[in-house]
Amino acid sequence: MTSDPTTPPTVMHVDMDAFYASVEIRRRPELAGRPVVVGALGARGVVLSATHDVRAYGVHAGQPVGRARRLCPQAVYLPPDHDEYARVSDNVMAMLRSITPTVEPLSLDEAFLDLGGSLRRLGGDPVRVGEMIRARIADEQGITCSVGVAGTKFVAKLAGATVKPDGLCLVHDHEAVAFLHPLPVSRLWGVGERTEAVLTRLGLHTVGDIAHTPRATLCRALGQAAGRTLHALAWGRDERPVVPSEPERSMGHEETFPADVDDPEVVRRALLRLATRTGARLRAAGLAGRTVSIKVRFSDFTTLTRSKTLREATDVGREIYTTACALHAGLGLERARLRLVGVRMEHLVDGDRPRQMVLGERARGWAEVERAADAVRDRFGGQALAPASLLGGSSGRPPGTRG
pLDDT in tens, 213-269: 999 999 999 999 999 999 999 999 999 999 987 656 788 999 888 888 889 899 999
In this predicted structure, the answer to whether residue 394 has a pLDDT above a threshold of 50 is no
Greater pLDDT, 62 or 211: 211
**Ranges 179-193, 307-321, 339-353: which has the least confidence:** 339-353
In this predicted structure, the answer to whether residue 309 has a pLDDT above a threshold of 80 is yes
Give me the residues paired with residue 261 across strands.
338
Give the whole-number percent of the chain exceeding pLDDT 70: 84
pLDDT of residue 61: 86
How confident is residue 327, by pLDDT bands cut at 50, 70 and 90? very high
DSSP labels for 227-264?
Answer: HHHHHHHHTT---PPP-PPPPPSEEEEEEEEEEEE--H
How confident is residue 398, by pLDDT bands cut at 50, 70 and 90? very low
pLDDT of residue 381: 56
How confident is residue 359, by pLDDT bands cut at 50, 70 and 90? very low
**Ranges 4-8, 92-96, 203-207: which has the least confidence:** 4-8
Greater pLDDT, 56 or 393: 56
pLDDT of residue 247: 59
10-57 pLDDT per residue, tens: 999 999 999 999 999 999 999 999 999 999 777 678 899 999 999 889
Q: Which of 332, 244, 327 is nearest to 293 (CA)?
A: 327
In this predicted structure, the answer to whether residue 3 has a pLDDT above a threshold of 70 is no
How confident is residue 378, by pLDDT bands cut at 50, 70 and 90? low
In the chain, list all ranges with CATH 3.30.1490.100: 250-390
Catalytic residues: 110
How confident is residue 122, by pLDDT bands cut at 50, 70 and 90? confident
pLDDT of residue 235: 96
In the chain, list all ranges with CATH 3.40.1170.60: 19-81
In the chain, list all ranges with CATH 1.10.150.20: 181-234
In this predicted structure, the answer to whether residue 396 has a pLDDT above a threshold of 70 is no
Average pLDDT of the chain is 85
Tell me how far apart the alpha carbons of residues 268 and 252 are, in angstroms, rounded to a whole number.
16
Across the range 331-349, mean pLDDT stands at 87
pLDDT of residue 401: 34
- Highest-confidence range of 86-90, 152-156, 349-353, by mean pLDDT? 152-156
pLDDT of residue 240: 92
Contact yes or no for 121/106 (Cβ under 8 A): no
In this predicted structure, the answer to whether residue 390 has a pLDDT above a threshold of 70 is no
In this structure, which topology does domain 19-81 adopt according to CATH? MutS, DNA mismatch repair protein, domain I (3.40.1170)
In this predicted structure, the answer to whether residue 4 has a pLDDT above a threshold of 70 is no
Across the range 352-356, mean pLDDT stands at 52
pLDDT of residue 357: 47
Q: Which CATH architecture has domain 181-234?
A: Orthogonal Bundle (1.10)
pLDDT of residue 366: 63
Contact yes or no for 13/110 (Cβ under 8 A): yes
pLDDT of residue 358: 45
Tell me how far apart the alpha carbons of residues 40 and 227 are, in angstroms, rounded to a whole number.
37
Q: For the domain 250-390, what is the CATH superfamily, name and number?
A: DNA polymerase, Y-family, little finger domain (3.30.1490.100)
Contact yes or no for 37/50 (Cβ under 8 A): yes
Q: Which residues contact 17 (CB under 8 A, 6 or more apart)?
A: 52, 143, 144, 145, 146, 164, 165, 166
Per DSSP, 206 falls in state: B
Binding residue positions for Mg(2+): 15, 109
Give the whole-number percent of the chain exceeding pLDDT 90: 60
Across the range 328-336, mean pLDDT stands at 84
pLDDT of residue 237: 94
Greater pLDDT, 361 or 74: 74
Tell me how far apart the alpha carbons of residues 322 and 343 are, in angstroms, rounded to a whole number.
11
